[in-house]
Structures are given as C-alpha cells and as structure tokens.
Amino acid sequence: MQSFSSIFTKHGFKLWLGNLLGIIITSILSIIAFFILTIMATIFVATTVLGSGLHNAMLGSEALEQQMMEAFSDAGFGLIILCIIAVLTFSLIFSFPIAGSIGMTVESVESNRSRVSSYFKYGFKFLFKMFGYSLLTSFIFIAIEIIFIMVLAMMGINDASSGSMILSVIIFLIIFFLFSISIMHAPVIMMTERTGVFKSIRLSISLLSQAFGKVLGTALLMIPAVIIYYICYAFFMLPDDTAIDPVTKMPDFNVSGMLLMIFIITPLFMTITMLIIVYRYFKHLRSFIRPIYPGGGQGGNPYMPNLQQPYPNPQQPPFTFNPNPMGSIQPPNYQQPNPFQSPPNYQQPNQKPFPSNPFPPQQPH
C-alpha cells in the first residue's frame, strides 16, 4: 500500500476539484430549496391569516391582536410540517457531497486512481444510504443531548460554577466524543464493504472496541486540521466589528475572504480529512472486518479465516495447487481413472478380432 503523502500528491488535486464541484452544486441546490420553502411558508401563513378574517378587523384594535394570535396558533402545526420538510430536504442535499467525497477517496486509496466523474457516480449511488445515515446519527445525537438536559434538570443544578455541573459537562463531552469517533468509519464501511446503514454503524462501533488505539489515532490526526479550519473560518467568515457599513450600519464582511474560504479552504479541508479516515481504515482497520484482507485473520495470519468476523471467507495459501477446484472431498473407494489404460475387451472400430495362435507353446526339452 502506498504512503499517505504519495496518494495525496498523486490524487490530491482531483479530490479537491471533485469536492469543489460538489460544494458548488450543493450551494445552488440549497439556495433553490430555501427560496421554494420560503415561498411555501409565506403562502401558507398568508392563506391562514386571510382565512381567519383579519382583513375585516380594524388596524390597531384589540380584535386584530386577538385574531392574529389565533391565526398563528392555527398555522403552528403547518409550520412544524414545513420545518420537518426543510430539515429532510437539506439533509438529502448535503448527503450528496459527503457520499461523493468518500466514494472518490475510497477509489483513490483502493484502486490508486482518481476520476472527477467518480464523485458524481458515488454521490448519486449512495445518496439515500448516506441520507439514512445522517438522519439516524442526528437522532442519536439529539437523544444524547436530551438525556443530558434531563439529567441536569433532575440533579437540580443551578450554579454553573458548581463541581457537579463541571463534572456533568465533562462526562457529556466524553460520551459525545466517544460516540462521534465510534461511527466515524460507518460511511467508509458502507461504501467499501457494500453494507446497509445499520450494519455499517454496528461494524464501525465494533472497531472502537477491537482497535481503540487505531480509531483514537485517526481522530487525533484530524484534530489539527479541524483547528486550522476553524481558525481560518474565524478570520475570513466572521464580520469585522471595527468596519461598519455606512449604509446598513452593520459589521462589514470580507467578501474575498468568504470566497477563499468557501471555494479553496473548505474543499481542501474535506480532501485532507476524508483521506485520513479512508487511508487509515484500509491500512489499520479493514483487517478487523475482512479477515482475508492483508493483516487480518487469526494470529496475524491473513490466510487463516476468523469465524467470528462478518466475512469468514477463507483464502487458499499462496504457492499451492488444488487439483480439484470443486472440492477435496471424494466418495469412498474412489480411484482416479487412468487416461492411458484401455477398458477391457477393447478393440479398434472396423477391425476383426485376432485369430487363434496356430503354434501353441511347447514344453521345454
């Protein structure tokens, strides 16, 4: 297997280009979806308000305020439905660049080739699987946060500086971090091993227990890239409080910095982080899932299958020859036929049998 630097040098530009195209397409689709959802929400609220008879109320009267409250309470359920549709829509849109980036990176590491077309190939092929993975993991993270808030409420912690509050926050951050790194390899497993969403998450969690050091090492290698990315984000994306726009009276944004951040730094960050995860998975972790992969098996022998793994497919050792590829088990008393031995009473076609010997053998003198 090639080194990380050689793969990044050979395929880094194409990986960055694929991520850049994915970000551009995702941004366009997000803007279109935002405008469509905004128009739908405006039409729904306007229809609800006009249907409640507000146009007949006097402006500034108490009846107008009461009817407005009733109208928005009636529109509450519909707005909740629109919010759910918005969450599902944007989750589906953002699943495309993640699937495309991981698929293209897997191809560059596994096959030592990179094609920009592979980004769109894997992006559409694994779109709905990645969408299901995103929804499932989001629900789990939300459940962890709700449990944490309920625990704090039952403990009755009011002082933010108390020792119990600090200990609870530390425990929550540890649980959050462990769960994050436990499902980190699930999308890679889903694409590489062609598994479902639930099975890929289960296999990724099992990697944390089987190779905790390797999984933690992958997460620690990603921390510097994440820190550098957020430093760039704070420098280029956050508004400058010292520069106030004279027209809008709002802090001024660095437009060139925003473009640099969106179209240069973000694709590069995606390329580096995805390559770290995929490269270390193939080098250190895949053998725990597929024993026939070099480095796996029992006792470090890649040719000895591990029956406890999900893919116990034995592989024949090298430099051996199996004369019976369909199986080595033969029926009892089985003899291999001799191709050079003629059957009994054999004679050539259209040939008369040999006549009797006119000179029988004589007794010796």
pLDDT tops 60 at residue 309: no
Task: State the average pLDDT over residues 172-192.
Answer: 92
What does the alpha-carbon distance between residue 288 and residue 294 come to, in Å, rounded to a whole number?
A: 10
CB 252 within 8 A of CB 239: yes
Q: Give me the helices (H) in 113-159, please.
A: 116-125, 127-155
Decide which of 240 and 184 is more confident: 184
pLDDT digits (tens, 9 = 90+) for 44-97: 777 766 655 555 544 455 555 666 666 566 666 777 888 889 989 999 999 999
CB 293 within 8 A of CB 287: yes
Residue 162: per-residue pLDDT: 66
Task: State the average pLDDT over residues 169-175.
Answer: 87
pLDDT digits (tens, 9 = 90+) for 203-250: 999 999 899 999 999 999 999 999 999 898 888 877 655 556 555 556
Decide which of 242 and 318 is more confident: 242
Residue 68: per-residue pLDDT: 60
pTM of the model: 0.70
pLDDT digits (tens, 9 = 90+) for 255-272: 778 888 888 999 999 999
- Which among 203, 147, 207 has a CA at the least distance from the CA of 175? 147
Residue 26: per-residue pLDDT: 93
